[in-house]
Structure 1
């Protein structure tokens, strides 16, 4: 299992309707067929860290991760979500003992950036 987690905060100028739309897009993305489980909601970490919300999905393996990353729902949802985020902190974990797994995941991320440069620009514009 590969678990992807994001802690995030919305931009100050993001309206309540835009926040609701972004969270709905996250929940829709988290419900695609390649996702085994998901949670989208409030961040329960230290408020001083500056994160207000969190997103977590679990996918079975690298094949499921590839389907998740390129799912049209995910690609479309990020266009609604990413421009509204002020901060973003990703984390990954896995029960897969492959010592090269992180490198494989990062290579997949870089492939997606190359295939979808606007997605990469939107992601790079969000501070951690």
Structure 2
């Protein structure tokens, strides 16, 4: 299982209605057939870090991950909500003992995500990424 956890910090001035729209956009992507489970909502970590919401998604394997990245709703949704973020933190949890799994995940992402989509993430503050 590939479990990805995203923590979200919204830009100043993003209102509650916009935040709810973002959560709906993310949920639309999370309902893809390739997703085994997901949870999205408020984040209760250290308030000094600034993260207010989080998204956790479980994807069974690399084949499903490739489908998840290639979901049209995934790319479309990212372009709708990423511009509203001040900071994004991403973590990966794996139950697969393969020591090369992170390399395989990165290769899967790089094969599916076009340069414009990848550049979208370079415009926001990122913390931990694995």
Settle same-fold status: TM greater than 0.5.
Answer: yes
Contact 1:21 1:80 in 2 (8 A): no
Contact 2:66 2:112 in 1 (8 A): no
Q: Unpaired segments of 5 or more residues in structure 1?
A: none
Residue 77 of structure 1: CA displacement? 0.9
**Correspondences of 1:39-58 after superposition (within 5 Å):** 39-58=39-58
Most deviating of 6-15 and 31-40: 6-15
- 2:111 and 2:99 map into 1 onto residues whose CA distance is 20
The answer to whether the aligner puts 1:68 opposite 2:68 as a matched pair is yes
The residue aligned with 1:29 is 29
**Aligned-CA RMSD value:** 1.2
- 2:95 and 2:38 map into 1 onto residues whose CA distance is 17
Matched pairs, number: 126
Residue 108 of structure 1: CA displacement? 1.8
The residue aligned with 2:97 is 97
Q: Deviations over 1:67-95 (max 9, x none)?
A: 00111111111111111111000000111
- The 3-state SS of whatever aligns with 2:45 is coil
- 1:105 and 1:36 map into 2 onto residues whose CA distance is 17
Residue 119 of structure 1: CA displacement? 1.1
Residue 50 of structure 1: CA displacement? 1.3
Residue 111 of structure 1: CA displacement? 2.4
The residue aligned with 2:120 is 122
Contact 2:11 2:84 in 1 (8 A): yes
Tell me which stretches of 4 or more aligned residues in structure 1 moved more than 6 Å.
Answer: none
